[in-house]
A and B are shown apart, each in its own frame.
Chain A
C-alpha cells in the first residue's frame, strides 16, 4: 500500500498564553511507494514521531492530507486505518500472556470481520512464527528479554495484516549487539510480509543500513529524501551532510576562488564552475589520501589504529569543532613523529555549502 502525505502540517498550541505555536511537522509532501522500508531520520524533537502519530491516526493533522493508496484516511480514527504500530517501549499489556497480547487486536474485530477462536489462534501462531517466538506463547511480557518483547510487539502489530506498519524507535531499547541482529530481523520480516513499513530513528547508521529510502527531517521540515547511499553521497545541505556518517564529516571554513577551493590560503581542490564566495567545506573522513606532496596540510595530533583501517587525528586552524579525522587504509604508513601531515582530497567526498544558507553549492 503506498502512503501519500500531502502538505501535512501539525501545529501544537503553545502551553503559555503568549508563546507561539510549535510547528512539529511543516508541509510534509511525499509519496512512499508500496512495499518499501522507509527510515524517518532526524535529531530528537525534529517531528519524526509526530509524523508517525499522524500516519497512525493518534494525532490529527492541522493541515494536509494522508492517503493510503487512493483512500483518504486523514479523518479516520486509528482503528479504521489498518495500521500496526510498535511503540518504543513496546507497550505490551503486562497482565496478558504473549499469545493474549498477539490475539488482542483480532478480538476487537467487529461485524463480518469477526473470527472464530480457532482462527484467531491460528493467526496468532502464524504471526508468532514469523518473528520466531512461537515457543514463548504462554509467558508474560515480564518474563521475556528486551529483544523478545520487541518481537511480540511486532507480531501484535502484524497479526491483523496491516496496510502500513509503523515502528517508533524500534531498536533504541536494545543493547548494541541485539540492535544489530534485530535490524536484520526487521529487514527480513518486512521482506517476507511485503508490508509498507515506516520506522522512526535518530540513529543514522540504523536508518542507512536497512532502509530502502530515508527521510531526513530537521525542525519539522523534510530536508532530503532518497536512497541511503544517494543521500550520503549527495547531501543537499550542511545539516544532512553532518547528520549522516560516522565518524562525522569534517567541516572547515573555506572560500571558493577562481574555480578552486581555498582553505587557509591553500588551494586544496579544483572545483570548476562554482561561483566565488565564502563557504563551508565538508570533507568526509574517507575523502583524505595520504600524499607527501598533497595540497592540504594539517598539524599531526595522533594516529588511532582500528585494525581494518587507521584514523589520523589532526588539527587545522580553519576546522570547526575539535579535530579533523581522516580514515585511511591500514596498510598506509604514517610517520607519527612528523609535525605536519599532507593529504590530497577525493573530489567526490568533498562538498561545499553556502556560508549563509548552508545549502549545497
Chain B
C-alpha cells in the first residue's frame, strides 16, 4: 500500500497538478521574478539587474501609500461593523416568526445584485450633479445640514460612502451564514438556560456567542481577506481613475501599474502584489492564532 502503485496516484493527480502548475504555480514564481527584476521593460523583455529597487520605488510612491491607507481604513471600519450588524440582524431574523422568509429574501437581495448596478444606485443617492443635489443631500437639507458632494467632495465623505457601500454589499452573505449558524444551535440549551434563570443578554453572551464563535471567526477572517482585496467596489463608485479620486486601493494600484493609463510596469505591480500578500498573510496568521484561543469548537 505504501509505495506500490505510487505512479497510479500521481497519474490520477496529474490533471489537477498540470492545471495548478500552469495557472497557479508558474504565475506565482513569475510574480516573484518580476518583483526583483530592476528596470524591466515589456518592449525589450529584459532587465538591467536584480534587486529590491522595485519595492523601494513602490513604498515611496505617494499613490501606493495612499492606497495602503485607504485599504486599511476600509478593512478596519467595514469588517467589524459589517460582522456586528449582520449578527444583530441575524439574531433579529431568527427571533421573528412571521414573515421570516420574506425578510431573509429582502436581506439577501444585495448579494445577488450586480456590483455595478448597486454602484449606480449609490451614485443616485449620493452624487451631486448640475441637475440634482442627490437624494441623501436633499434629506440632509431637510434636517438643516449643508450638502456635501460624496462622490467628488472631501476625503472623509468619499470614505464614508465607500465604507457604507462595502458594508452594505458584504452583509447579506454574513447574515445568511449567521442565520443558519444560529438555527443550528440546539433549542434545549435555550430552554435549559431559561429555566436556570439566565437573562437574554447573558444567554446571548454565555451560550449563543460561544456556540456560533467558529462561524463568527470564519466570517471575520474571510472578511479581512476580502476587504484587503477591495477594488471593484471602488471602481463602481468612483470610476477607473482611482488615483485622481484619491480612493485607490492596493489591488487598484497593482492594476493601474499593469494596465492603467500610466501602466506598463509589471515589476512595480508585482512588488505591490507581494507586499499585499505579506500583509494579508500576517493578518490572517494573527486572526487564526487569536481564534484558536477563543473559539469553541463544539
Chain A residues with CB under 8 Å of chain B are 56-58, 77-80, 83-85, 87, 89, 91, 93-95, 104-105, 108-109, 142, 156, 160
Query: From B191, which residue of chain A is reached at the shortest CB distance?
Result: A58
**B207 — which chain A residues lie within 8 A by C-beta?**
93
Assuming the contacts A91-B186, A91-B191, asked whether A79 and B211 have C-beta atoms less than 8 A apart, the reply is no
Instruction: Check B130 for interface membership: any CB of A closer than 8 A.
Output: no
Query: Beyond A87-B188, A95-B298: 12 further Cβ-contacts under 8 Å?
Result: A77-B194, A84-B195, A85-B195, A89-B186, A91-B186, A93-B189, A93-B192, A95-B210, A104-B196, A104-B206, A109-B197, A156-B196
Report how far A85 CA is from B191 CA in the complex, Å: 9
**B193 — which chain A residues lie within 8 A by C-beta?**
104
Instruction: Check B202 for interface membership: any CB of A closer than 8 A.
Output: yes
Report how far A66 CA is from B199 CA in the complex, Å: 24
Assuming the contacts A93-B189, A93-B207, A94-B298, asked whether A83 and B198 have C-beta atoms less than 8 A apart, the reply is no
Is the CB–CB distance between B211 and A58 below 8 Å? no
Main secondary structure of the interface of B (DSSP, over half): helix
Assuming the contacts A58-B191, A87-B188, A89-B188, asked whether A95 and B198 have C-beta atoms less than 8 A apart, the reply is no
**A91 — which chain B residues lie within 8 A by C-beta?**
186, 188-189, 191-192
Query: From A57, which residue of chain B is reached at the shortest CB distance?
Result: B195
Is the CB–CB distance between B196 and A105 below 8 Å? yes
Pull 11 A–B residue pairs with CB atoms less than 8 Å apart, ordered by A.
A57-B195, A79-B195, A79-B197, A85-B191, A87-B188, A91-B189, A93-B206, A105-B196, A108-B197, A108-B202, A109-B197
Max count, chain B CB within 10 A of own CB: residue among A78, A109, A156: A78
**A93 — which chain B residues lie within 8 A by C-beta?**
189, 192, 206-207, 210
Instruction: Check B41 for interface membership: any CB of A closer than 8 A.
Output: no
**A104 — which chain B residues lie within 8 A by C-beta?**
193, 196, 198, 206
Report how far A58 CA is from B188 CA in the complex, Å: 11
**A94 — which chain B residues lie within 8 A by C-beta?**
211, 296, 298
- 10 closest Cβ contacts across the A-B interface? A79-B197, A95-B296, A105-B196, A91-B188, A108-B197, A94-B298, A91-B192, A95-B210, A78-B195, A85-B195
